[in-house]
Structure formats: structure tokens, C-alpha cells
Structure 1
Amino acid sequence: MSKRTLALAAALLLGTGTLAIVPAMPAHAAEANLKCHLDFSLSGWSAIYKHAEGSGTVRCDNGQQAAVKIAIVGGGLTAGKYRIDHGTGDITHVRDLDDVFGGYVQAGAEAGVVKSGTVQVLTKGTTSLALAGHGEGINLGVSVGRFTISRP
């Protein structure tokens, strides 16, 4: 800003009596220290392309909860068909329930025959999702994908 423009703006503000002095205060985002819990079931298949769908419930420590839809899509060198019943997940670094929704990056190596289990940690920005589950099926390979939690 030029000196003339600055002086003119100050004169206008002083002349109208609308000059307000606002103390400089740092802006704080809401603390992301809430923890939420996911209970889910899903089934899927893979043959180079990986696809799974399911549903569940998210419950947060502050009392918020929601029914959710889960989708996994991705690709890699995979083959198989599987089902996970009674899966669980812990979602951390959350401000409120809305932070849970969206896509999480997923990468992993799978090897399971008949009864198998899985443990994965996924991220979405600073939000983390740790999944655990057991189920049935056959799945073998290495893949990358997206684990999405959405409203039904």
C-alpha cells in the first residue's frame, strides 16, 4: 500500500469513528483429541482389481454415533474372495464425528486361506484408523487402495 492510500484509509476510519482496535490473538483450531470406534462387517473379492463393501457403526467417546457404509477399492497383484465379520477399528486424532468420514489410504500384503485375520493402520491427513478383524475366505497378493467411510 502506498503512503497516500494508507493515510486516506486511516483518515476515513478516524473520521467515521469506526476504528476498532482488535488485540492480536492466535487462532486455535479445535483440539483433535477425540477417539472414535468402528464396528463393521464387509465382504469382497479381488482379481487385480480389489472391491469390498460393508456397513457398520461409529461411536465416539463424546457420545456422537452414526451408521456407516464402508467401501474398499484398489488394485495390485491380488486374487481371492473374503468376508470379515465383527471387525473393529479405532479412529484417532478426531475433532468430531464429521472427521471420520472420507477416504483413508490403504496398502498391504494379504495372505489368507479359510479362516484368516487382518490388522491394518490407515491414514487420512492427521486422522488415523487402526483396523482389526477376522473372517473367512482366500486372499493372496499385494495391493494399494482406498478405504472409504460414508453415511448410508
Structure 2
Amino acid sequence: MKSRLVASVLLACAFAMPAAHAADELDCKLHFELSSWSLIFKHVSGKGTVTCSDGQSMKVKLEANGGGLSVGRSRIDDGNGVFTALHSISEVPGTYADVNATTAIKAGDAQVLTKGVVSLAIAGVGHGVEMGITVGELTISEDK
């Protein structure tokens, strides 16, 4: 199951990434944990760390609120993400567009979020039950 999840994220990244990796782009990854609940309104919160190929790192808070038709409670442990089109770690914080469709028992979650030209492809192993469709925004802020 995990290999299908990783394959899905890599495929999503391939479509989200530009054809050529610009020489001045910075490779940054996100490691995170999230928990969520929803009853029409969905709330997601978590923490993580962004690490970049130039040695910089940043602890971050993750929060999302959205509306739609959903119900449930879930958790993602050991989540991972890959940023594209970053030139500085200071570009990480901000609000990313999020559209998410889920069904029944969460065995994993994968999606691509965008903030202007910057994309974040995330995946993780999920626990819990959640059903529905939600639309919202994921906000990443520095956790000082």
C-alpha cells in the first residue's frame, strides 16, 4: 500500500514540476505529523521540519481549515513532502491551496498543494476514518 502511495506522489510531482530544474532552485523537504477532525467544517493541525540541500532548516506549524461535505477524525504520522520552485527557505511559510477528497478508512494520504509557483507534494501514512470532500487552505508558519 505504501509503495502505491509513494508512486502516486511521484506521479503528482512529475505533473507539478517544470520540465527542467532551474539551477538556482533549492531542494527542500518537509517531515511532518498532522491530526484532523471534520464535521462539515474540517480542521487540521500539526508540526514539522523543513530541511534544504544548502543545510538550512526551519521548524514549522501546519494549520488548515476548510469547508465541504466531510466527517471523521484522522492522523498522519511520519509524513513527507517535497517543495518545488523554491529559491530560499524563507519562501516556505505561507498559505497553500488545498482540495482534498477522501473515502472511508485512511491508509494513507497524498496530495499536491500550491502557493503561486511553489508546489508542495505531501504523503504520509494515515490512521482513522474520514469521508468526504473539503476545500481549504494549508498555512505553514515558522514555529519559533
The bucket for the TM-score relative to the shorter chain is: 0.7 to 0.9
Q: Secondary structure at the match of 1:98?
A: helix
Distance 2:33 2:67 in 1: 21
Higher normalized contact order (CA 8 Å, seq sep 6+, divided by chain length): 2
> What is the percent sequence identity of the aligned residues?
46
Q: Please tell me whether residue 80 in structure 1 is matched to residue 63 in structure 2.
A: no
Distance 1:140 1:86 in 2: 22
- 1:147 Cα offset (Å): 0.8
Distance 2:69 2:56 in 1: 39
- For 2:100, the equivalent position in structure 1 comes to 108
Q: Secondary structure at the match of 2:55?
A: coil
Query: Which structure 1 residue ranges, 4+ long, deviate > 6 Å from structure 2?
Result: none
- 1:62 Cα offset (Å): 1.2
Task: Please list the CA deviations of residues 73-126 of structure 1 after superposition, one character each: whole Å capped at 9, or x if unmatched.
Answer: 11100000000000000011001001111010000211131x511110010000
Q: Please tell me whether residue 34 in structure 1 is matched to residue 26 in structure 2.
A: yes
Q: Please tell me whether residue 98 in structure 1 is matched to residue 90 in structure 2.
A: yes
- For 2:51, the equivalent position in structure 1 comes to 59
Structure 2 regions of 5+ residues with no counterpart?
1-22
* 1:32/1:93 contact within 8 Å kept: no
Structure with higher Rg: it is 1
Structure 1 regions of 5+ residues with no counterpart?
1-30
**122-131 or 103-112, which deviates more:** 103-112
Aligned pairs (5 A) from 1:112-127? 112-113=104-105, 115-127=106-118
Q: Secondary structure at the match of 2:28?
A: strand
- 1:32 Cα offset (Å): 5.5
- 1:63 Cα offset (Å): 1.0
**61-70 or 124-133, which deviates more:** 61-70
> What is the total number of aligned residue pairs between the two structures?
122
CA change 1:92–1:37 in 2 (3 A) is same
- Provide the aligned C-alpha RMSD in A: 1.5
Distance 1:118 1:32 in 2: 30
- For 1:135, the equivalent position in structure 2 comes to 126
TM-score of the pair, normalised by structure 2: 0.81
CA change 1:44–1:54 in 2 (3 A) is same
